[in-house]
Amino acid sequence: MFIILSMIPSVILYIIICKRFKDETGTAGLLVKLFFLGIVSALVAGGANILFEDVFFASFDHESVLYIIFSGFVFTALLEEGFKYLAMRMLTWKNAAFNKTRNAVTYAMSVALGFGFIENIVYLMFDATISKVIIRGLLGALGHMFDAAFMSYYYGQAKYRAACNDKAGAGQCIRKALLIPILFHGAFDVILLLSDYDFMLILFFVFYIVEIVFAVKFLKKSQKENMWIPAHVAENDPLSTGDMGR
């Protein structure tokens, strides 16, 4: 019951986003594949997290503030956003259906929903309480989708610039598509993990409101700045030449 409740907010938001950004985003099959790749990326990221924290860094003090900060930004944010990006890119970058920049919104949201879906199940299998449902469902799962709003905007811009043979510009957008979600995701986790301190709990809710505001802003930018993407982007893939911008 708790697991089902934790999924409701992200599913509702996903439906709203898909309706608002409905476009030529490809067949329903593509979005389903992205959803399941999101699940796979969550499992891979979780496995990598365990490997690093419990094997390579097992001797470190996991309760120290410095370690929590390092773990939040590297073991959690970097790994999770990195694998979500790879999952999305694998199926969409060279896909002919990706012909408008705002299509990236539904792609990124599909991956985020799959990621949050399995992540909630895993967490609540071991500790299913109403407080966990609130944190995982209303905060954590939605946080993944807010991060997807940042990633999708720059991912769409990167595809457009690559198609226009602007490899440097595409590379810079790809870096932003990864960096900005990592920073928001890392800050979210670190502040939440340190919320035993009263002032950090207050800071967490302030931060969460700020993230919502910025996520909505980026979604509006994706809608307003939507552009047709020229065909044959594959030949101008910035990653194929190692050009990630300056």
**112 C-beta neighbours (distance < 10 Å), count:** 35
Residue 171 inside a domain? The answer is yes
The total number of residues written for the chain in this structure: 246
* 3 state SS of 28: helix
**Residue 72 CA neighbour count, 13 Å, CB half:** 19
The percent helix, strand, coil of the chain (3-state, each to 5) is 80, 0, 20
Give the pLDDT confidence of 214-246 residue by residue, as tens digits. Answer: 999 999 999 999 999 987 554 455 554 444 443
- Which of 40-44, 53-57, 133-137, 198-202 is predicted most confidently? 40-44
Residues spanned by the domain of 113: 2-236
Backbone angles phi, psi at 190, to 5 degrees: -65, -45
Q: For residue 138, is pLDDT > 80?
A: no
The answer to whether position 138 is within a domain reads yes
Specify the higher pLDDT residue, 1 or 210.
210
Q: What residues have CB less than 8 Å from 8, skipping those under 6 apart?
A: 137
| Distance between CA atoms of residues 121 and 98, nearest Å | 31
Does 129 have pLDDT greater than 80? no
- 244, part of any domain: no
The per-residue pLDDT for range 98-115, each reduced to its tens digit, is: 999 999 999 999 999 889
Q: In total, how many domains does the chain have?
A: 1
Question: 74: which DSSP letter?
Answer: I
pTM: 0.86
Alpha carbon of 34 to those of 30, 49, 61: distances in Å? 6, 22, 37
Q: Would residue 165 count as lying in a domain?
A: yes
Is residue 241 included in any domain, yes or no? Answer: no
What is the reported pLDDT for 125? 72
pLDDT at residue 242 in the model: 46
Crossing angle of helices 2-20 and 142-163, in 10° steps, is 30
DSSP state of 231: S
Give domain status of residue 246, yes or no: no
